[in-house]
Amino acid sequence: MSALLFRDGWTDLGTTVYGGGDAVLFSWYLGWIPYALAHGLNPFVTQLLNVPDGVNIMWSTGVPLLGVLAAPITMLAGPLVAFQVLTTLAPALSGWAMFLAMRRWTATLPATAAGLLYGFSPYMIGASYGHLHLSFVPFPPILLLLMDDLLVRQRSTRRTGVLLGVAVAAQALVSEEVLATSAVVTVVAVAILCLQYRDQVRIRAAAAVRGLAVCAGVATALLAWPLATQFFGPQRVHGSIQPPDVAVSDLLTFVTPTPLQALGPDFAVRESLTFTGNAVEVSGYLGLPMLALLVFIAVRLRRNRLVALCAPLCVAVAVLSLGPHLHVGGHNTGIPLPWRVLELGPVLHNALPSRLSLYLVLAAGIMIAVWLDQARPPRIRAVTAGVSVTALVPLLPATLLAFSAATPSFFTGSQVKKALPEGSTALVVPYPYPQQNVAMLWQAQAGFRFAMPGCYCTVPDRNGRSSFHPEVDPLNSALIAVATGSTTADAALQQPGLQATFDRFGLDAVVLGPSDHHDELVRLLTALAGRPGRHVDGVDLWPIGMP
């Protein structure tokens, strides 16, 4: 199913991606990790981007664990192929983890239904547009199993604590955000259990604390290096990475289909586009049939322990996903909500509330699996299966849109080795920034031979606050303005400090790849380089200080 969903990427393997600039970003990370390890470099810091300051990878969703796991693919076929493989595996492995978790409590077919809902939910489809760190989520079902071992079944606290610590460390090296939100949802779930089983709290507390202490010790030991780099290393940032109160679930999100669904009336899809935040982040859609089914299950099976836990958990997670203030129909009502308190603390102010829909479908999948498993007579079993399918149909994903990510042959052939010696510095245009970062892909495809100014990554501004691109200067502002058609080369050359900024980088070469307003960029770069360039294998090249 996952291969079918991402079939366009497999048809044009290595030149097509899902997610545009974000896909390029993660492809760069997948290439960087094995390169850094093979060359004895710190994989959590790079000096190849944002010259001369570099980038702290730990602030930029660098997925180092996935970079290690996919290293053989990356080295054999390149980072774009590795990205396509992981993007395809993410829903399948996540759904499989959910299936394995539910097999503890249900038969195979009900567990399969839970795995399919979790692995191909609107959250997963939205995250598949370039957000590899968010789509690769086998961790929450694994966490469910381990917390069941620790709190309910009370298996060996040391063994469970060690496994939990390894799982936590692994997740931190894929997505710290998913780890943080998983912790929040776990706390909510444990609070619900404590209210439901007050007589068991004192009996089970000591073993739980011991297991969590072991978990903390193991995770701390495994994460000492990356976390030390993140919080004490170079180019660390402060403050919120994302703007607050934007990427939240609208109150109408849960019943309003988005462009990510194959089925949905046009007026409803248009309504979803009025919600705040990026369209792929509006991922809390369940549909009226699913909501009605969940309410029915909550009432019908209220004495079932899993349903009694997951029904209030669904409500709590849905409320948290609404963010710090209630949004209705794309309008912020200003009514405060519980997330407002959570985002005042550390870490969570960088989490996007709308992404909590991951846990909403996890809890919903558990409830549906339990309901299907409870159906015993064949006639009742057929009815429950039919109702479940009816509730799941509105969630069918639409065809994913693929984006071309072709690389000029200059970066993959022999010419790059002649023009850019190992360790050189090149200005690559289009200048890399959040809206256009294809130069980062070209750098990775060239085997990281050269460093370059600019990036689409999290870096500190002059005050240490987080930003997705380097500080604006005369050079990058001119390059971006000319590339977007906002100004001409002649007008850009009048900017004070432009030539001085260009000279300050000590460039070995300038490379201009395919771009909009190409002729104007040629004029600008020729003036800055002080000499005409030459066309080589799909790019224009200006050697600096070389014959």
Phi and psi for 463 in degrees, rounded to 5?
-100, 5
176-196 and 305-321 helices, crossing angle to 10°: 130
**Does residue 66 carry a pLDDT above 60?**
yes
Which residue, among 447, 456, 451, has the nearest Cα to 26 in the 3D structure? 456
What the block records as the tokens of 514 is 């395919």
**Does residue 345 carry a pLDDT above 80?**
no
Counting the structural domains of the chain, the total is 2
Q: Are 319 and 338 in contact (CB under 8 A)?
A: yes
- Give the containing element (helix H, strand E) for 543: strand 539-543
Beta bridge partners, 16, equal 404
Q: Which amino acid is at 315?
A: V
- As a whole-number percent, the residues of the chain with pLDDT over 70 amount to 99
- What are 514-523's pLDDT values in tens digits? 999 999 999 9
- As a whole-number percent, the residues of the chain with pLDDT over 90 amount to 84
What does the pLDDT average to over 191-208?
95
> Do 363 and 475 fall into the same domain?
no
Give DSSP secondary structure letters for 244-274: TTSS---TTGGG---TTBSS--HHHHHHHTT
Return d(Cα 9, Cα 404) in angstroms, integer.
9
**Does residue 499 carry a pLDDT above 80?**
yes
What does the pLDDT average to over 17-32?
93
Mean pLDDT of the chain: 94
Instruction: Please report the pLDDT score of residue 347 as a whole number.
Output: 78
What does the pLDDT average to over 360-386?
90
Residue 402 covered by a domain = no
378-392 and 108-119 helices, crossing angle to 10°: 0
Q: Which amino acid is at 196?
A: Q
Total length of the chain: 547
Return d(Cα 460, Cα 474) in angstroms, integer.
18
Which residue, among 375, 320, 474, 295, has the nearest Cα to 107 in the 3D structure? 375
Confidence of residue 546 (pLDDT cuts 50, 70, 90): low
> Do 368 and 277 fall into the same domain?
yes
Helix H segments across 322-467?
Answer: 339-342, 357-374, 378-392, 409-412, 415-419, 438-445
| Residue at which a domain ends, from 366, 395, 424 | 395
Find the Cα–Cα–Cα–Cα dihedral 124, 130, 136, 140, rounded to 10°. -50
> Do 19 and 105 fall into the same domain?
yes
- What are 44-60's pLDDT values in tens digits? 999 999 999 999 999 98
Instruction: Please report the pLDDT score of residue 514 as a whole number.
Output: 95
> Do 383 and 420 fall into the same domain?
no
Instruction: Please report the pLDDT score of residue 17 as a whole number.
Output: 86
* Residue 91 C-alpha from the chain's centroid: 13
Cis amide linkage into residue 547, ω under 30° from 0? no
Lowest model confidence (mean pLDDT) among 40-49, 101-110, 117-126, 234-243: 234-243
Residue 405 covered by a domain = no
What the block records as the tokens of 373 is 């498993």
What does the pLDDT average to over 224-239?
93
* Residue 188 C-alpha from the chain's centroid: 23
Residue 409 covered by a domain = no
Instruction: Please report the pLDDT score of residue 222 as a whole number.
Output: 98
Beta-strand relationship, 424-429 and 450-451: parallel
Return d(Cα 79, Cα 443) in angstroms, integer.
11
Which residue, among 127, 93, 356, has the nearest Cα to 260 in the 3D structure? 127
Return d(Cα 172, Cα 164) in angstroms, integer.
12
Cβ atoms within 10 Å, residue 279:
15
Phi and psi for 411 in degrees, rounded to 5?
-80, -15
438-445 and 21-38 helices, crossing angle to 10°: 30
> Do 482 and 386 fall into the same domain?
no
> Do 383 and 418 fall into the same domain?
no
> Do 182 and 322 fall into the same domain?
yes
Confidence of residue 545 (pLDDT cuts 50, 70, 90): low
List C-alpha distances in Å: 37 to 45, 72, 316.
12, 13, 42
Find the Cα–Cα–Cα–Cα dihedral 219, 220, 226, 227, rounded to 10°. 120
What the block records as the tokens of 14 is 């290595």
Residue 132 covered by a domain = yes
Cis amide linkage into residue 430, ω under 30° from 0? yes
What does the pLDDT average to over 82-92?
96
Return d(Cα 131, Cα 178) in angstroms, integer.
12
Helix H segments across 1-49?
Answer: 2-5, 7-11, 21-38
Residue 406 covered by a domain = no
> Do 391 and 428 fall into the same domain?
no
In the block, tokens 């990281």 appear at 448
Instruction: Please report the pLDDT score of residue 394 as a whole number.
Output: 92
> Do 452 and 383 fall into the same domain?
no
What does the pLDDT average to over 444-464?
93
What DSSP state is assigned to residue 16? E
What does the pLDDT average to over 145-166?
96
What does the pLDDT average to over 174-195?
96
Instruction: Please report the pLDDT score of residue 547 as a whole number.
Output: 52
What the block records as the tokens of 458 is 């999290």
What does the pLDDT average to over 486-492?
95
What does the pLDDT average to over 463-489?
92
Q: Are 381 and 375 in contact (CB under 8 A)?
A: yes
What does the pLDDT average to over 230-243?
88
Instruction: Please report the pLDDT score of residue 348 as a whole number.
Output: 85
Residue 482 covered by a domain = yes
Residue 233 covered by a domain = yes
> Do 228 and 80 fall into the same domain?
yes
Q: Are 192 and 84 in contact (CB under 8 A)?
A: no
Cβ atoms within 10 Å, residue 439:
28
- What are 266-307's pLDDT values in tens digits? 999 999 999 998 888 889 999 999 999 999 999 999 999 999
Find the Cα–Cα–Cα–Cα dihedral 520, 522, 523, 524, rounded to 10°. 90
Extended strands (E) in 475-545:
509-512, 534-536, 539-543
Segments forming the whole domain that contains residue 131:
2-395
> Do 387 and 424 fall into the same domain?
no
Return d(Cα 513, Cα 426) in angstroms, integer.
12
What does the pLDDT average to over 193-210?
95
**Beta-carbon contacts of residue 432 (< 8 Å; ≥ 6 apart):** 49, 438, 439, 440, 452, 454, 455, 456
Return d(Cα 512, Cα 521) in angstroms, integer.
8
Residue 175 covered by a domain = yes
Instruction: Please report the pLDDT score of residue 426 as a whole number.
Output: 96
Beta bridge partners, 539, equal 536
Instruction: Please report the pLDDT score of residue 422 as a whole number.
Output: 92
| Residue at which a domain ends, from 364, 395, 426 | 395
- Give the containing element (helix H, strand E) for 194: helix 176-196
> Do 420 and 383 fall into the same domain?
no
In the block, tokens 């200080």 appear at 545
pTM of the model: 0.94
What does the pLDDT average to over 180-205?
96
In the block, tokens 């094995």 appear at 34
- Give the containing element (helix H, strand E) for 82: helix 79-102
3-state secondary structure of 539: strand
Instruction: Please report the pLDDT score of residue 234 as a whole number.
Output: 93
What does the pLDDT average to over 410-418?
93
3-state secondary structure of 297: helix
Cis amide linkage into residue 421, ω under 30° from 0? no
